[in-house]
Structure 1
């Protein structure tokens, strides 16, 4: 059996052995008689003349909380019951995942700069002779396969082993670990930690540091102990000598070392040109002084706010309360800047979760051309001098995102760290846990108390503090809450305030960076170093400029190097004061008050504040703190699966509702990740981020016998993850489509998307001709969006990727697409001088207007009730055929979360499981197709004349009754693909509402003017008594009942097909959708879209005529296609007898 070689600390220890002080050669006390000295000393001494050793190398880390050792001296702590702590590797495997997911905003420069800072402030000193290996279990899923039995870890040298450190008191005191570098932000990683070390790095010419020239670039000098410092076989191989032996650790870290080294030389050269009389020493010291000052400015004003949060920093005194051009004189000689053990050994290791496992190689066009594996090049900086790698990695560092700050680590650091050519390496998280034990850190609870936070007394309390999956597993790893370790629980905390770390780690990080600043007499903003003009210049420093000035071949970079290029963020061009004749594709400038109202990738509107368990993003719990009832069980217990046809409405009625829903709303980025592959649960540590799978109980009568354990669901993208949206600290879900009734499902949601759908000739949209018919073009991502089972299967490209979801939905997409081309053709014949752009825009405008007229005048009254719509201003009487001037420029049309996630999903209850094929009106079906057989398989439309037969079936077959039942096809078989079973649409709706943090049903009752329920009987005014009884069996309290559940169970409101709470939400939305749309077809504002004659024609639009005009073979149709045909009230007539919108008012008359 083999074991892993010593980790990096041991290698570095050997390197620094020459600097270890002999036991009988202790250094003298620093002589500060030359104070006030003009420059900071290299070893940090005399920074504070009253305490000259503070912040110097080989001093003990500061203890914020007393050390915790099993023997009170040095042995790692045991649990409260006296047994050893849980195995560190097992904790890492059980509590920390290994899925890589890129951060939406921050670059690898940002993460790597954090490592540079960590190395600048702290380095666990020369290892002692005592080992503390980590055992690897025989069933370890990764390491045991290669025969690894343990991971090597040598204990940090302590005060017990250094006779030069004074120890007060009698008896043996607890071991205090030593740091071998200065505690200041002084770029000791560049300049070293002593005069002797620094002299070995200086050229002593022109104030510069040593460099070597190779291949047109400057490199740090060659290390004299190459084979002992780097992972190389010969002394001639590349290994750099810098102020810190860890500079060779990873390629990106080396690049940052190199940038600050070259920045020193650049400054020295510029200073020499300005001040030719300055000697080498002064040039060196002033260049070093400026370099450090620029670095400190970047740390505090550019970098720390990303991770600690600017508000948190101001509140803790890390940043001044108000920005100032003057000096910030906050040096306090009573503040000890020494690095705390908890900071270095736990809190600042938070950044290990951000490490990326593969580093992109990016060409000048910013396109990645490949990547290198991190574990292949640890301690092997030679990769930078290989052909093109320096340039590729430098660009990659500024364009690639670091990993997300969650409980996952890259597999490269979880299993393969420092593997040095072997199949596997060590586990960085396990090393962090074991190192914290070596250092005798007190418990998580002790540090919470130190930070003024409440101690955890029982396991349930962790649910509100830590990330949910790990929080629930914690009690299975530790015997008692008092055993839980800082390095473990701190890394699992939910983020705090406007920072990325949790509240305990934030406390420790903020404490350190306050002391690091306030305890440094030479901090750049104090009045001791720079005058006002110099300070003004230094504050201009940015990481981007440091990289640009010192990276060969880098000619351009984003202004903020710690952030990804933000070209994807929406920018609104001039709105031309409302003179635009056509609505924009992305909805921008519809409102001149707020040009972004209704645009894509904006947060849903909230009618009531979000309800999350942690107040940020975690799904809500019951009032008692327990988890909400299982969504699948609720679906089975409260919603039946019996099909019963509606007595009057056709399937097109229900399907048109889905078209409208897709036009208004699309939860952002909810596809592409398998959270429950093939219906099987993933171990929590394998679960991709944002996954919120829905458990299927083992006794489920339908799905469990088919082996289904869960249903997949990926959480909607929120403002917490999207750099272009304002983040207020609470997750607000994003909609990826415009909020207007603008047929974005046909035309797309951006100019770029629309351009790919247009023919760019005669105003037409692109179509393909097959079987004598026009079809949407083929989708280039067919394999991802559709089921491509047979060679003949098709997948359509439209303005909405959901267009292929069901056969009837695809039919409605197609008729609106073909209607555009029909309109463009007729307009072209009437106005032959119109060019492609005008024909396209006018046809689009008419198409949208006819659609809006159908929505408000024909379709919505069926479900909302005409009188209800009149009462709430959705419809208007006595307008005498004229315009309706109800546009309100201050009205925000943004779709509400409650509308998109709950109320408008009521139509799911009306889905029909088998779709009729009908040969002629008023005839029985000649056949049927099963819905679940053809979800995401629109090719069924191209079989024989199915397009005609399914269209006719859509207006001859009734949709399911609007009640508490769903068709089994939607209840058990949704998106089953080729599997026997699928998902449960109702359970998914319940789970999605939890994901979106909707408030409780009782809250919405109150919002809508209903009486708030105090007990179960109070619900009977809107919900049948028997249903209320069933609700009480599943929910502990009336305040736990969910909107998406109870809203679907309400009795229908007068005149409507939905209950009063959903009706309230639907009316609220459709009023804003109309009143907040400057281009709404009936709006008569000056320069509005239509004239009076045009408006009269548009109001004639019907869905029956739309189908007739754009369905080959359809010759007859009932006048109102939303209702079943009836001889007396809704007779079938020839298509030519249906009302037609004449385009004559659009003919341009010659003058």
Structure 2
């Protein structure tokens, strides 16, 4: 469904974007910067073994966590527990897949540019290909744990897991969130990782039970599921686990809006004032054959109305940022305005995700403090504004700190991709409401607003009413028996007919995601010792899991375990899954020089940094849709339920 241009890491780097600014004095193909020229920092020191104090902290919390989890401790101690846990994860759960087959050749970035590249290359001064489109997804699991299940790939049948444990028995809402939160995470995830189109040759054959109605639903018998497209260039030895390529950039760079190659990006731009193309406030239709039902944007795979709303909103935001920057710098040309606005827009999305979406789905005081500290630091913000950075990452936040990849080159990981299997968030039907009076307009199914019906549904109901509807509608809770029927019987735009519940289970097994108890242990969490402990407050599921997995706790799938596991108060998903987040959420910021050493006014402009600092999801919505002000009155987090009109 998506246009991708994968490039193996061994190929030579592409040329930088055209040097449109050279007539203004640039010598590196990028925008000229005032003040002193940027100097390449010295190579980072290896992330060495922990010091004595760090070892003592790690050992102490390891002992404490045998009896009490971090969320059961007093808040200040719980926060320290999380900080120590993150350091342990940084040392032990970042694995370069080249480690099993020798180091690849790393070439330096000859002229690091003061803007984000089109394909993700050139972010690291010592490795031009780090994070680039077409480089592989790495691992959080040690490589010896990252092999596919082999003969056990169908044990138990992933279709039976979907039917008996995932299938929605009745919609269970997540009452503290709205549907915008569900659309947001897919919107962000599409900018981080994608495996590309699946292989059609030699699909998996999934056995069906005698009473399975898949054939009656229009699927084949037996069920066929295409395999993940393999890494097109083998970089490791035959004894190493299989690897897969990321067909989008790994960085938090807004590539879902801007694309992961220059040709795609330029096709989305007007060529004037840095703007993206908008047609009467809407993204235009994708001009490629058979794709006119989708928006023309950087990434429109698995597209639906929720994604269309957010892609359009942040395309508008990009253009507003261009206008702001141009008002301060009227001589700047299209290229410089575009790249500056992209930096600011991307950083604003990263801020929204860090300090709004994440505390929204993980609603505890410790997490609110933790995620704000990731972005702003523990010191009051006025201190940083007045005196600049004081101390390290903990006090002043990651922004503007030293870039650090920790124990492996930066990349997205297979375990991180797996962590975002959050399909229960999607409801099977939505009641569309009028944003002015709150009146019911229609009830539509998910199939009426995805794939071939995406743009027609937005046209039919309008952006304002759909945004309001998403704001007052709850998503589904991330629990067992809550996968939407619409996604378990999904007809994709490509013509493929799939049960995404089955696919979710099969993909983890195919890509070597450790099963649940092994997954817990690799993340420094005590394994469960019984099915009763796993199912916690839902004892009715205990015999079902025990029977399906033939009494073997070691065979419980990670997705199932994470949906079944009792969770901390206020958490929208499991603490086990959360550990991948605390590692990778800060890593997306800490490894990116545009959030660290290059987060400065010479790169972003002073007005760009103020825009990031002063805005939120609520202000973005109100800037482009002031008609939503009554519904957003008093709402501090746009991903929490809005005020219903009456």
TM class, shorter-chain normalised? 0.7 to 0.9
| 2:465 alignment counterpart | 392
| Displacement of 1:377 | 3.0
Tell me if the contact between 2:340 and 2:604 (Cα under 8 Å) persists in the aligned partners: no
| Displacement of 1:264 | 0.9
1:240 paired with 2:314, answer no
Rounded to whole Å, the distance in 2 between the matches of 1:303 and 1:95 is 27
1:200 paired with 2:272, answer no
Alignment of 1:630-669 (within 5 A): none
Tell me if the contact between 2:424 and 2:476 (Cα under 8 Å) persists in the aligned partners: yes
| Displacement of 1:318 | 4.3
1:324 paired with 2:391, answer no
SS in 2 for 1:521: coil
Alignment of 1:5-404 (within 5 A): 11-12=1-2, 15-16=3-4, 19-21=5-7, 27=13, 32-35=109-112, 37-66=113-142, 76-79=149-152, 84-98=154-168, 99-128=170-199, 129-141=201-213, 144=216, 146=218, 148-159=220-231, 161-163=232-234, 166-167=235-236, 170-211=237-278, 213=279, 217-227=280-290, 229=291, 237-246=292-301, 249-309=303-363, 311-312=366-367, 318=374, 320-325=377-382, 326=384, 328=397, 329-335=400-406, 336-345=409-418, 347-349=419-421, 351-363=422-434, 364-380=436-452, 381-384=454-457, 386-404=459-477
Rounded to whole Å, the distance in 1 between the matches of 2:357 and 2:227 is 32
Rounded to whole Å, the distance in 2 between the matches of 1:302 and 1:432 is 27
> Structure 1 residues 293, 472: CA separation in 2 closer, same or farther (over 3 Å shift)?
same
Rounded to whole Å, the distance in 2 between the matches of 1:47 and 1:300 is 21
| Displacement of 1:531 | 7.0
> Structure 1 residues 27, 254: CA separation in 2 closer, same or farther (over 3 Å shift)?
same
Unaligned runs of 5+ in 1: 1-10, 230-236, 569-1151
Alignment of 1:453-852 (within 5 A): 453-464=525-536, 467-479=538-550, 480-496=552-568, 498-523=570-595, 527-528=599-600, 529-530=603-604, 535-551=609-625, 554=628, 556-558=630-632, 559=635, 560-566=637-643
Rounded to whole Å, the distance in 2 between the matches of 1:153 and 1:293 is 37
Cα deviation, 1:531-590, whole Å, max 9, x if unaligned, reads 77754441222212222333496454413321113579xxxxxxxxxxxxxxxxxxxxxx
Unaligned runs of 5+ in 2: 15-105, 390-396
> Structure 1 residues 471, 61: CA separation in 2 closer, same or farther (over 3 Å shift)?
farther
Rounded to whole Å, the distance in 2 between the matches of 1:469 and 1:540 is 48
SS in 2 for 1:178: coil
> Structure 1 residues 21, 296: CA separation in 2 closer, same or farther (over 3 Å shift)?
closer
> Structure 1 residues 139, 421: CA separation in 2 closer, same or farther (over 3 Å shift)?
farther
| 2:30 alignment counterpart | none
Alignment of 1:1120-1135 (within 5 A): none
| Displacement of 1:116 | 0.6
Rounded to whole Å, the distance in 2 between the matches of 1:24 and 1:60 is 11
SS in 2 for 1:370: strand
Rounded to whole Å, the distance in 1 between the matches of 2:197 and 2:166 is 30
| Alignment partner of 1:447 out of 519, 524, 530 | 519
Rounded to whole Å, the distance in 1 between the matches of 2:553 and 2:8 is 44
SS in 2 for 1:181: coil
SS in 2 for 1:104: coil
TM-score relative to the length of structure 2 = 0.74
Tell me if the contact between 1:77 and 1:440 (Cα under 8 Å) persists in the aligned partners: no
Tell me if the contact between 2:8 and 2:135 (Cα under 8 Å) persists in the aligned partners: no
> Structure 1 residues 54, 470: CA separation in 2 closer, same or farther (over 3 Å shift)?
farther
Cα deviation, 1:1014-1052, whole Å, max 9, x if unaligned, reads xxxxxxxxxxxxxxxxxxxxxxxxxxxxxxxxxxxxxxx
SS in 1 for 2:175: strand
> Structure 1 residues 503, 78: CA separation in 2 closer, same or farther (over 3 Å shift)?
farther
| 1:691 alignment counterpart | none
| Displacement of 1:263 | 1.2
Rounded to whole Å, the distance in 2 between the matches of 1:31 and 1:202 is 30
Tell me if the contact between 1:548 and 1:556 (Cα under 8 Å) persists in the aligned partners: no
SS in 1 for 2:332: coil
Cα deviation, 1:104-146, whole Å, max 9, x if unaligned, reads 2211111110111111111113433442243433412565465
Rounded to whole Å, the distance in 2 between the matches of 1:48 and 1:455 is 38
Cα deviation, 1:291-324, whole Å, max 9, x if unaligned, reads 1121111111111112234524756974534443
Cα deviation, 1:424-468, whole Å, max 9, x if unaligned, reads 95322221101111211112122111111112344444244x743
Rounded to whole Å, the distance in 2 between the matches of 1:500 and 1:536 is 32
Rounded to whole Å, the distance in 2 between the matches of 1:472 and 1:497 is 25
Cα deviation, 1:848-886, whole Å, max 9, x if unaligned, reads xxxxxxxxxxxxxxxxxxxxxxxxxxxxxxxxxxxxxxx
> Structure 1 residues 56, 427: CA separation in 2 closer, same or farther (over 3 Å shift)?
same
Tell me if the contact between 2:268 and 2:297 (Cα under 8 Å) persists in the aligned partners: yes
SS in 2 for 1:372: strand
Rounded to whole Å, the distance in 1 between the matches of 2:545 and 2:620 is 44
Tell me if the contact between 1:293 and 1:524 (Cα under 8 Å) persists in the aligned partners: no
> Structure 1 residues 421, 450: CA separation in 2 closer, same or farther (over 3 Å shift)?
closer
| 1:1066 alignment counterpart | none
SS in 1 for 2:195: coil
> Structure 1 residues 457, 564: CA separation in 2 closer, same or farther (over 3 Å shift)?
closer
Rounded to whole Å, the distance in 1 between the matches of 2:446 and 2:403 is 42
Cα deviation, 1:931-967, whole Å, max 9, x if unaligned, reads xxxxxxxxxxxxxxxxxxxxxxxxxxxxxxxxxxxxx
| Displacement of 1:368 | 2.3
Tell me if the contact between 1:136 and 1:148 (Cα under 8 Å) persists in the aligned partners: no
SS in 2 for 1:103: coil
Rounded to whole Å, the distance in 1 between the matches of 2:583 and 2:114 is 28
Tell me if the contact between 1:68 and 1:441 (Cα under 8 Å) persists in the aligned partners: no
> Structure 1 residues 61, 147: CA separation in 2 closer, same or farther (over 3 Å shift)?
closer
Moved more, 396-405 or 47-56: 47-56
Alignment length (residue pairs): 525
Cα deviation, 1:330-375, whole Å, max 9, x if unaligned, reads 4442334422211202x221x2111112233221212222122111
Tell me if the contact between 1:122 and 1:183 (Cα under 8 Å) persists in the aligned partners: yes
Alignment of 1:972-1011 (within 5 A): none
| Displacement of 1:87 | 0.8
Rounded to whole Å, the distance in 1 between the matches of 2:538 and 2:136 is 33
Tell me if the contact between 1:305 and 1:313 (Cα under 8 Å) persists in the aligned partners: yes
| 1:1129 alignment counterpart | none
Cα RMSD for the two superposed structures: 3.2
| Displacement of 1:201 | 1.6
Tell me if the contact between 2:107 and 2:127 (Cα under 8 Å) persists in the aligned partners: no
| Displacement of 1:276 | 1.6
SS in 1 for 2:381: coil
| 1:911 alignment counterpart | none
Rounded to whole Å, the distance in 2 between the matches of 1:145 and 1:249 is 22
> Structure 1 residues 105, 25: CA separation in 2 closer, same or farther (over 3 Å shift)?
closer
| Displacement of 1:96 | 2.4
Tell me if the contact between 1:226 and 1:239 (Cα under 8 Å) persists in the aligned partners: no
Cα deviation, 1:804-823, whole Å, max 9, x if unaligned, reads xxxxxxxxxxxxxxxxxxxx
